[in-house]
Amino acid sequence: MPAPRFTRRAALTAGTAWALTACSAQEAEKDDAAGGSPSASGPSASESGSVDTSPASPAESAPSSSRSNLDHASPDSLSVLVNKHYPLSPLDWAPNDLVDFGGVQLRAEVAQAAEQMFSAAAQQGLALTMLSGFRSYDYQIQTYDNWVNTYGQEQADTASARPGYSEHQTGLAFDIGSAGGCNLQPCFAETPEAQWTAENCHKFGFVLRFPYWQHETTGYYFESWHFRYIGREQAQKYKDSAAENLESFWGFEAAADYQN
Ligand SMILES: [Zn+2]
């Protein structure tokens, strides 16, 4: 039921506004816009501090006829959909199979796939670095507060994910970088590392989660560094489908904005 979940979230974050980047922690620490220039007018934010409206719970609603038959609601599913319409349930969920990879934590299967992708990149002379992986609900609350305090709610919500709404909390997503710089900045897209990974990630089970100019569906501006694991079979199908984003591939509606 949405009400208890929302109540708990409101209690945990009382006195704060929302906003965490989809790639929040590292970016925030680097004082980076993280997936969206704050100067750009993108997906609009919800009302500041409004915690008294009862949100819909799309994850629990009946699936549309076009939706895939995969499990998009269970937080431990490789097919879980997390965006501005679909928070994790429970909001403070955390994986129980996290392992270390390059100084961050990822779910074990994801770490194994990432290792294979990084090795394949290295064979091409490309040195991928791991910047951020799993981020906990509690950690994101703190990061979110920093964003709101620095930029205000509206811009924070544009570039950020609220606690419980970040793909990083699934342990399935991570941000890559390169030794050449431009990490977590728009210019990263021009690096050989970003271009190779975008072209080859499906072979290892990943998708570029926030593609260029898909923010009206994904809710986030282009993040050339953020990759999400969905498994090799799904990733290959995604590639073959030429879908423009994961929402449309799985038959979900656009999620530009929060619903509350
Ligand atoms: Zn990210």
Where do runs of H (alpha helix) occur along the chain? 2-12, 24-29, 108-123, 137-151, 153-159, 192-200, 215-218, 232-241, 246-250
pLDDT greater at residue 160 or residue 227: 227
Token pair of 58 as six digits: 């799309």
Query: Which among 181, 152, 141, 189 has a CA at the least distance from the CA of 35?
Result: 189
Q: Which of 8, 2, 17, 36 is nearest to 218 (CA)?
A: 36
Expressed in angstroms and rounded, the spacing between residue 110 Cα and the centre of ligand 1 is 14
pLDDT band of residue 5 (cuts 50, 70, 90) is very low
Q: Rounded to the nearest whole angstrom, what is the distance from the C-alpha of residue 228 to the centroid of ligand 1?
A: 9
Provide the residue ranges of all domains of the chain, joining segments of one domain with +: 2-47+69-250
Q: pLDDT by residue (tens digit) across 109-156? A: 999 999 999 999 999 999 999 999 999 999 999 988 899 999 998 888
Whether the per-residue pLDDT at 55 is higher than 60: the answer is no
Q: Tens digit of pLDDT for each residue in 181-216?
A: 899 999 999 999 999 999 999 999 999 999 999 999
DSSP string of 140-203? HHHHHHHHHHHH-HHHHHHHB--TT--GGGGTSEEEEEETTS-TTSGGGGGSHHHHHHHHHGGG
C-alpha of 52 from chain center: 26
Cα 69 to ligand 1 centre (Å): 26
**Cα–ligand 1 centroid distance for 65 (angstroms):** 30
Whether 170 has a pLDDT exceeding 90, the answer reads yes
User: Which is more confident, 147 or 52?
Assistant: 147
Give the CATH fold of the 2-47+69-250 domain: Muramoyl-pentapeptide Carboxypeptidase; domain 2 (3.30.1380)
Q: What is the pLDDT of residues 66-109, one digit of tens each?
A: 899 999 999 999 999 999 999 999 999 999 999 999 999 999 99
Q: Distance, CA 225 to ligand 1 centroid (Å)?
A: 7
Q: How far is the CA of 116 from the centre of ligand 1 (A)?
A: 19
